Amino acid sequence: MSEALLPPIGMLAELTHRCPLQCPYCSNPTELMKANRELDTETWLYLFRQAADLGVLQVHLSGGEPTLRRDLEQLIAGLSSHGVYTNLITAGVGIAEGRIEAFAEAGLDHVQLSFQGAHAETTERIGNHRGGHQKKLETARRVRAAGLPLTINAPIHRHNIGEVPDFIELALSLGAERLEIANVQYSGWALVNRDALMPDRDAVERQMEIVGQAQERLRGILNIDFVTPDYFAIYPKPCMGGWARDAFMVAPDGTVLPCHAAHTIRSLTFERFGDRSLAEIWTDSPAFNAFRGTDWMQEPCRGCERREIDWGGCRCQAMAIAGDPAATDPACVKSPVHARMGMLIDDALASARAEKAAGNPPEESFIYRRIAATTQLA
């Protein structure tokens, strides 16, 4: 490791894999955990206390759908008591009357609400949940009425990329402070559905132009974050700010990982909270130290002027496409296998053309996210 180890400042807590939606782009692993494997209330509170002591300043409460945890108010209050900023990442369906107000009273700082489409038909087809769009609109209203800041999250793929202008108008109409245009990253269920989700290059370029113009036009009114699609990139993003550099995530069963897809690197063994403390895992875990800093890098990363900008990019993407987690991220133009990204795009678009020619509705090609499907995919 070539730089001093600093304490983490951010944490993603996947409280559960349970979810009322079945989105085919979900980044959860295809081997979804059932409720009986989730950490109990006291263990999560103990973990959060250790996270605060370690230096964590913000925790993103996610899933699955975190509001399915009946103890969510307690978990928020526990984090708030340690001065930790809390962001609730929710699908916004099935939240009982009065609960959002209870989250605010417990100390919640922010809500990030996902919309699968800017229109009801798209939202309900992608999430496979009837009436979901209207429920999300109501959740947004209740969030703002409770005085909580609101981010609208728009996961973008082939089936909703044409709705980007409408997502912008939706965020404005809901009084959101922030809109995240997040092109789908292909891990978990999204990787299984890659051929069904991949947009074409022209659509991506139109999207980038629309977002750029809106960012300029709405400066000071709506903060628009744009997560670029890796498969169309020239240089990779610093995944999670760099492997185990300033953030980590915890799975529902307490497994601690450098990022949400790290479990796909089968050569690494990830430890569970309780078997060791968070501090021990952060500092000493062989899996966390495997790709920290720059010493692990191969060429061309080792000699690249960007090595401390993107920190090698995504290790999980290197594993998925190059077959080696230490390889240069294939999203990088300097990668020996960068051309494979273009081939994967072409294959996905060819598959889409074949489905369209056969007259199949788009959803027929989806493998929807559901626990019952994991046995077929394992």
**Which residue numbers belong to the known binding site for [4Fe-4S] cluster?**
19, 23, 26
Report DSSP letters for 285-336, one per residue. -HHHHTT-TTTTPPTTTTT-TTTTTTTTS-HHHIIIIIS-TTSPPTTSTTST
Residues in the chain: 378
CA distance 341 to 324: 15
> Measured in Å, how far apart are the chain's first and last C-alpha atoms?
35
Residue positions in the annotated binding site?
Answer: 19, 23, 26
Q: Which residues are registered as beta bridge partners of 273?
A: 276
Burial level of 5, CB count in 10 A (0-12/13-18/19+)?
middle
Query: Of 102, 128, 107, 104, nearest to 116 (Cα)?
Result: 128
Q: Which two tokens stand for residue 13?
A: 């807590």
Return the biggest CA–CA distance within the chain.
58
| Adjacency order of strands within the sheet including 150-156 | 223-227, 178-183, 150-156, 110-114, 85-90, 58-62, 10-14, 247-250, 256-257
Burial level of 42, CB count in 10 A (0-12/13-18/19+)?
exposed
